[in-house]
């Protein structure tokens, strides 16, 4: 089994677990050892003035302080065969002395901790399109790029730098995995060993919502039904907040429940209009372990996505998580979801289309529970990781 250095773009303890943490866990479950390297910070931190109007700056300051504390410590073992390391680097460094310093610190740190942990430089599995800017990949026998988003299209990202380095990374990688058809179209011309695998779910975890003995959290049971729920980052560059507001105004009998951090990756996100509506409730971020209980208390799982350059290249993590919890799903018909139209109610992001689909879901119409659960169980992390590993094993040594 290979030892894997996994270069993530998310901190291990982030409340919204995504591909990076789940893939690390599934690789370990399949017998590999993994050194998980936390986010290097692709964008500059916001360190603006203190005050209630600058919550994102406060969050960035807190994150920097937390990372400084972790950087002074050795990698921490979070489970058997899996270590997490927070490298001491300058966030948002894309060129010049700062970039060279980060390259030196990261390279030396990884060499030191691999030596002390007894890990071989077998595979470099990276999620960062800027990998070659910050790290020399030559110590590793193989390099895998797992592209899960069009990061360049997120707010405040250095798009030109990302395009330049991602092009080089794709050409240098032994294989590239992508999570949407649009990413496949974009990256396959750069590397013929580019393969599409949709995002999947921790099905066993979210299937707990089907357990009749699992309690629904009290802050949710205090809200009226029917509950139309969303779980994830509440960010304006992805979600159609205007659509949500229109739906809530047109249907005061529906209770909209939003769970997750506001403005993740997009500090311009403004939820003031939604907060003014009595049937829209923001519960904040909730621990990953508690999410099945919240999904159990929903009547519909909602994905009101905009149609833009970012969302047309994404595959929403929550799609199969909602299905695994047994929820009927109403979602914007972005390109990546269209092949799964038999599992959900997909529609254009208009109030008329969404209210019709939500009404269908509440009436018990649309895909059956059995079909939804079967669809979820066919899309698990271990299944997908095993298929990815088969592609890697087929490469010429």
CA torsion through residues 174, 162, 237, 224, sign: positive
Distance between CA atoms of residues 303 and 320, nearest Å: 11
Pair type for strands 329-332 and 227-231: unpaired
Task: Please calculate the CA angle 353-359-364 and round it to the nearest 5 degrees.
Answer: 130
**Residue 370 structure tokens:** 């059995």
CA gap 68, 320 in Å, rounded: 35
The per-residue pLDDT for 69 is: 62
Q: Which CATH superfamily includes the segment(s) 3-200+380-393? A: Glycogen Phosphorylase B; (3.40.50.2000)
Do domains 3-200+380-393 and 203-377 share one topology? The answer is: yes
Would the pLDDT of 50 be above 50?
no
Q: How far apart are CA 332 and CA 52, in angstroms?
A: 33
Q: Tell me: the pLDDT tens digits for 126-140?
A: 999 999 999 999 999
Q: What is the pLDDT of residue 62?
A: 56
On the question of pLDDT at 83 being above 90, the answer is yes
Checking if the pLDDT of 58 tops 70, the result is no
* Band of pLDDT at residue 100, cut at 50, 70 and 90: confident
Instruction: Quote the tokens at residue 103.
Output: 């390259």
Sheet (strand 175-178) strand order: 76-79, 82-85, 33-37, 3-7, 123-126, 142-147, 175-178, 194-196
- CA dist 5 and 3 (Å) reads 7
Q: Could you give the CA distance from residue 13 to residue 161 in angstroms, rounded to a whole number?
A: 27
Sign of CA dihedral 143, 18, 178, 128: negative
What's the chain's average pLDDT? 91
List, as one string, the DSSP characters of 223-288.
S-SSEEEEES-B-TTTB-HHHHHHHHHH-TTSEEEEES-BTTT-TT---HHHHT-TTEEEEE---G
Tokens describing residue 17 = 């677990």
Domains of the chain, by residue range, sit at 3-200+380-393, 203-377
The pTM for the full model equals 0.91
Cα-Cα-Cα-Cα dihedral sign, residues 45, 87, 62, 231: positive
Of 286 and 56, the one with more pLDDT:
286
Q: In 25-73, at which residue ranges do the beta strands (DSSP E only) sit?
A: 33-37
Q: How far is CA 367 from CA 205, 327, 341, 343, 373, in A?
A: 22, 10, 9, 6, 10
Q: Which of 58-62, 93-97, 262-266, 325-329 has the highest mean pLDDT?
A: 325-329
pLDDT tens per residue across span 3-46:
999 999 999 998 889 999 999 999 999 999 999 999 886 555 55
The residue-averaged pLDDT of 221-241 equals 96
344, 350, 305, 352: which is closest to 328 by C-alpha? 344
Residue 261 backbone phi and psi in degrees, to 5: -75, 145
- Quick: pLDDT tens for 233-290: 999 999 999 999 999 999 999 999 999 999 888 888 999 999 999 999 999 999 999 9
Lowest mean pLDDT among 102-106, 220-224, 229-233, 251-255: 102-106
For range 303-328, the mean pLDDT: 96
pLDDT at 173 exceeding the cut of 80: yes
Give the β-pairing of 280-284 and 300-303.
Answer: unpaired
More confidently predicted of 103 and 270: 270
* 295: its two tokens: 């999904």
DSSP run (H or E) holding 346: strand 345-347
Domain 203-377: CATH superfamily is Glycogen Phosphorylase B; (3.40.50.2000)
pLDDT of the residue at 59: 52
Band of residue 192 on the pLDDT scale cut at 50, 70, 90 = very high
């Amino acid at each position: 089994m290979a030892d894997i250095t996994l270069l993530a773009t998310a901190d291990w303890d982030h409340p919204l677990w995504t591909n990076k943490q789940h893939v690390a866990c599934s690789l370990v479950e399949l017998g590999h050892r993994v050194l998980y390297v936390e986010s290097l910070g692709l964008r500059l931190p916001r360190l603006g003035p203190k005050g209630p109007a600058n919550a994102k700056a406060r969050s960035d300051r807190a994150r920097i302080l937390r990372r400084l504390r972790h950087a002074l410590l050795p990698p921490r073992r979070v489970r058997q065969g899996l270590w997490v390391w927070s490298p001491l680097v300058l966030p948002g460094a894309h060129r010049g002395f700062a970039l060279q310093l980060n390259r030196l610190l990261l390279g030396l740190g990884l060499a030191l901790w691999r030596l002390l942990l007894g890990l071989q430089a077998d595979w470099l599995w990276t999620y960062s399109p800027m990998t070659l800017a910050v790290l020399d990949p030559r110590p590793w026998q193989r390099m895998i790029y797992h592209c899960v988003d069009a990061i360049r299209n997120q707010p405040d990202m250095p798009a030109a730098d990302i395009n330049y380095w991602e092009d080089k990374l794709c050409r240098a990688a032994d294989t590239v995995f992508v999570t949407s058809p649009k990413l496949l179209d974009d990256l396959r011309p750069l590397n013929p060993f580019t393969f599409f695998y949709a995002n999947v779910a921790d099905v066993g975890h979210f299937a707990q919502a089907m357990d009749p003995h699992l309690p629904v959290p009290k802050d949710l049971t205090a809200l009226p039904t029917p509950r139309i729920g969303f779980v994830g980052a509440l960010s304006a560059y992805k979600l159609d907040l205007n659509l949500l507001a229109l739906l809530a105004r047109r249907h005061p009998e529906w209770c909209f429940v939003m769970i997750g951090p506001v403005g993740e990756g997009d500090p311009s996100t403004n939820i003031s209009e939604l907060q003014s509506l009595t049937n829209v409730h923001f519960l904040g971020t909730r621990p990953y372990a508690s999410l099945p209980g919240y999904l159990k208390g929903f009547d519909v799982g909602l994905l009101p996505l905009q149609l833009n350059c970012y969302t047309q290249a994404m595959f929403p993590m929550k799609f199969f998580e909602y299905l695994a919890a047994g929820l009927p799903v109403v979602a914007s018909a972005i390109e990546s979801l269209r092949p799964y139209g038999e599992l959900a109610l997909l529609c254009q992001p208009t109030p008329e289309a969404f209210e019709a689909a939500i009404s269908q879901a509440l009436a018990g119409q649309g895909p059956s529970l059995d079909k939804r659960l079967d669809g979820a169980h066919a899309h698990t992390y271990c299944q997908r990781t095993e298929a990815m590993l088969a592609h890697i094993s087929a490469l010429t040594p």
